Homo-oligomer: A and B are copies of this chain.
Amino acid sequence: MNNIHDMGGMTCFGPVEREENEPIFHGEWERRVLALTLATSVFFGPLDRRRHVLEQMNPLDYLSCSYYERWLVRIERLSKETGFVTDEAFTSRGAALFETVSGAPVDSDTMDSIIRQGNPSVRDTGRLEPCFAVGDRVRARNINPSGHTRLVRYVRGRVGVIHQIHGTHRFPDTTAHDKGENPQPLYSVRFDATELWGSSASIKDSLFIDLWEDYLEVENG
């Protein structure tokens, strides 16, 4: 969906403001929201799905919430979807989720290990042979999917060059919507600033963004 989270290239949010002392957390509640988010991450499903929950906030709510407030809204929504919040007891949906997710709640050692190991998106299945090689000219497709996508609006239809191949990774557009991981090559694509923003941009400058193979098409000429 084309929502406000896709804000690259907007010029209307004012100057960057740095806080004095830059506290990691602005209150105890922010600590707990971070912890709740990480501790429920296995339970509530793939990252892409959880990201999409944030992206579905209407722009007014999205912009009036601070960062951890949005994360709070996300846990609340996911809890509601699961049936925790609406009913006193577990709903059947919540109970079913428990059955499929083994070992909830995550204990502190498992959490520790999740943080140390991470949750890599790289896959050794799916499309393992990249269609494009480093140096190839590609055009970012102009697609406007209704669901989650990482193809930002500001590169759609623009021509770039393959800079690096990151291997085969799960595809967010399908993973977010329970349509399978659809693993495919992920590329770092370089765009000239003038291609993205026109001739007033510096000809010295460029922008690199990671794009999945399904976002790209061959550019001839």
A binding-site residues for B, Cβ under 8 Å: 1-4, 9-14, 56, 58-60, 63-64, 141-146, 153, 156-158, 195-200
Q: Give min CB distance, A179 to chain B, whole Å.
A: 16
Smallest CB gap from A157: residue in B: B157
- Expressed in whole angstroms, the Cα–Cα distance for A196 and B4 within the complex equals 19
A11-B146 contact, Cβ under 8 Å, with A4-B59, A60-B60, A63-B63? yes
Contact: A142 with B197, CB < 8 Å?
yes
Contact: A12 with B59, CB < 8 Å?
yes
Q: Contacting A143 at CB < 8 Å: which of B143, B156, B200?
A: B200
Q: Give min CB distance, A197 to chain B, whole Å.
A: 5
Q: Give min CB distance, A181 to chain B, whole Å.
A: 22
Q: Give min CB distance, A58 to chain B, whole Å.
A: 6
Q: Contacting A1 at CB < 8 Å: which of B1, B11, B60, B141?
A: B11
Smallest CB gap from A141: residue in B: B198
Q: Contacting A63 at CB < 8 Å: which of B3, B10, B60, B143?
A: B60
B residues less than 8 Å from A1 (CB atoms): 11-12
B residues less than 8 Å from A2 (CB atoms): 9-12
Smallest CB gap from A195: residue in B: B142
B residues less than 8 Å from A9 (CB atoms): 2, 144, 153
- Expressed in whole angstroms, the Cα–Cα distance for A60 and B63 within the complex equals 6
Q: Give min CB distance, A28 to chain B, whole Å.
A: 26
List the 5 closest pairs (A to B, CB-CB), nearest first.
Answer: A3-B12, A142-B198, A143-B198, A60-B63, A2-B10
Smallest CB gap from A60: residue in B: B63
